[in-house]
Structure 1
Amino acid sequence: MAAANYLSPEDQFLCSICLDVFTDPVTTSCGHNFCKNCINEHWNTSNQHMCPMCTKVFISRPELHVNTLLSEMVDQFRQSAQQKTSSSEQQESKPGEVPCDFCTGTNFKALKSCLVCLASYCETHLEPHLTMPGLKRHQLIDPVENLEDRMCTKHDKPLELFCKTDQTCICTLCTVLDHKMHKFVPLKEEYKGKKFKLEKIEAEIQQMIQKRRLKIQEIKHSVNLSEEDADREKAEGVQVFTDLKKSVERRLNELIKTIEVKQGTTEKQAEDFIKELEQEISELRKRSTEVVQLSLSEDHLHQSVQSSNFHQPPPTKDWTKVSITPASYEGTVVRAVSQLEETLSAKIKKLVKAALKRVQKFAVNVTLDPDTAHPELTLSADGKQVKRGDVKKNLSNNPERFSLEPCVLGKQSLSSGRFYFEVQVKGKTEWDLGVVRESINRKEVIALNPQNGYWTVWLTNGNEYRALDAPSVLLSLKSHLQKVGVFVDYEEGLVSFYDVDATALIYSFTGCSFKEKLFPYFSPSHKYGVKNAAPLIISPVRGN
């Protein structure tokens, strides 16, 4: 049986309080063993005398005596452990490891630190603490540096407890002196709680790191997408301007050729006239010579007979009515530029069509917010239509509602990114729509412009379209608007309006600085009998 005890597992020689090899082991009446110092300190810090193992409560504090048999077994165990330790090769202390305080020359790695001696020991210098009775009572811990910091500066005892009241480490004497009425727990217990909290914080930090790594990937992905968009836009721009350059050069060459052909025709006509005139001059000179010779002849008979043939100049063309009219170039350049303008318009329409198709991908399902609607407005049940009613409804005058102007906002807002929506304005003679910032004045009549938080386009007098910029801009449109598309790029500071049916850009507010939420804005304006009674209708976007 004795041999069996010597071969028992190491756990049988560990104190359940300090979790280290027994020092002066004692046995309680319930049969459990503890270090004498450990059980005494445990009962000193407790309101009742209870066994830490089986929780048996003793009426009075038991008298404790060292368990001689167990003490001898522990000594043998220590010696056996020491022999195993001695047989193993000592490790030289590395940077970051605690060195032995007693090694000379080569500093070996410390295996334990003593809270009584305030020193750290390698396996060789640790032997006295494992064998000598006086030193075996010392409290050994895993090697640490700055052991002085682990001692109570006031009582010169190890800091073994944690005062929750003052949130500081204390020794056993502090509990009965300076911290008598405070709440304290063993340092190991506090360590476990703090460790759990630290592990929780570490998990949260790792989660935050992971989120930020994902955000980095998201940002990099956005940059890549932006780079792809930029490359596509550059390629498209180069292609468009290359085509335009070719068109300009082709039109210029055609213009020059047309002018040169006209000039060539004029020059050919002049050459023909000059040739004909030179022929007549030659004939006239010949006749002149004959007349001169005849006039100098002294043969009266011959002169009399021949002179009858020269009674008048030879027949020639009447050149008084002949002239060269310079070629007309009126309208030649204008027509060439007009043709170029048609080509340019076709290119622009193609570009706008592609741009409109891109922005339509950001379509938002906008619905009207009845809490913002002016009391004279009537909204459809699905929140997609608004028109001016005949009766002013009795509605609560909440801060969000427009009180004087016949307006209503959409429920959906934008504080980043892009969105797009379309509104049917067919059959109306007055309206205004666009986007507004959240803080606009809804209780007074104010000018609709970006300074006041409005980015809108309106129709008035049936055919006068204006972008309500500062100052407002009169828009020249080729056709009456039937459906208007509104696109917003928050970060870009852009608000654009499109003629959806004609695939044309109406107007863009650029360089805007948005600092708060933006809401879709609708106003069917005033109604004059049946005139302008048609509603504004939020239309589904094609392809969405």
Structure 2
Amino acid sequence: MSLPEEDLTCPVCCDIFTDPVLLSCSHSFCRACLKRCWDTGLRECPVCRKRASKYFPPSNLALKNVCEALLQTRRQSLAPTEDKMNCSLHGEKLKLFCQVDKQPICVVCQSSKLHKTHDCSPVEEAVLDCKDELALSLKTLQDKVDSLKRIQRTSADMSKYIKSQALETQRLIRIQFEQLHQVLCQEESARLAAVKKEEEEKIVGMKDKIKELSAELLSLTETIAVIQEQLKEDDMVMLKNFKATQDRGKSIVLGSDNMSGLLIDVTKHLCNLKYRVWEKMLEHIDYTPVTLDPNTAHPCLILSDNLTSLYYSKQPSSCPDNPERFHMSAEVVAMTPLGSGSHHWVVETGSNQDWLLGVASLSVPRNSEVSARPENGFWTLCFRDGEFRAMTSPPTPLTLSRTPKQIKVQLDYNKGTLSFFDPADNTVICAFTHTFTETLLPYFYTQSSHPLRIMPEKVLVTMLRQ
């Protein structure tokens, strides 16, 4: 059982015993401490003042062994700390911090060639600076952890959304193909019915022709029989009946023996059948030059199933926080990249009283709110509070004789012009001139529950003849 440290402490120096001696009064002291006390002339115990019987008191070997064991234990526990505090090369205390090599050094190291030209600072100052840097690094790393956790949550949400997106897209594809199938079935039924109708008409015609031929054949047979009988009569009888018999033979007029056109007109039904069906299907198909990209739409924008119209809802939809999406404002772009050539599309604004239309650069920020101005990569026409404005810097008010229900947007990328028209009379509302260098996207904004709708265009089929 170990003794308390106070039992191993000299009453004179208040430190662990060094070479302890034992007096007759049972008190122990360091040999050197007791000698200093007795050098004053009084040979007595410094604690109880009892006179000592011996000038050279015996060593307290048991106490000495215990104290040496304690000191040894202390030295062993302090050795690593001392090693850490001292230079491994020179054994001197590490008092400086090299700013270049980012390590503590001693004064001898500072004078060496290795660190002589390096900036150094006291360890105390370096500790504060390094702690600040580590705290900053810790914050940066923690921010990265938070960002990764957020991305991880977003990724999980996106995985679920991708599944629902795929199911919804498949459903809409099936609906459109069902509509196409229905048109094809109706067209097939109509063409089969046309063949059946022609078959019935041709069969009725053939029956009439056969009936007509049978009547003619009967008449001719009877006339032949009469002539044959007359040839058998007496000459005078034959002569008396000659005129009547001859007139009867001449009165028979045969019908047309033209048999053309009686068969079914197969060519009419099969000639370029697939092409003519496809041409007929175009009457049931809409084509829009611009299609909205739902992956860029702000959560409060509701897009139609065919991605050609949008309106604002106060109830945001549950969609992932993907980088392409506009997060701050009710915006969406189309998926049609415009990097050259001429393009146009017509938007029906109807009763919508709050909208912006035009084009935006591919690189416009999606997670921050910026003004729709040319310097920010936007070229737009705005209608708000009953007023039209060209979104220049600053915006330019426009005076129109009437409020159009449709707006035509026309871009000539190579010439660097973007124009807005009233398609009713093709009058120019406003125009931008700019040297475009980046890919553009059709741009839409609204905070109205009344929809904006991209108008379909007529599809014209042109045959090229070699």
TM-score range, shorter chain: 0.3 to 0.5
Higher RCO, 1 or 2 (CA under 8 Å, sep at least 6)? 2
TM-score by length of 1: 0.41
TM-score by length of 2: 0.46
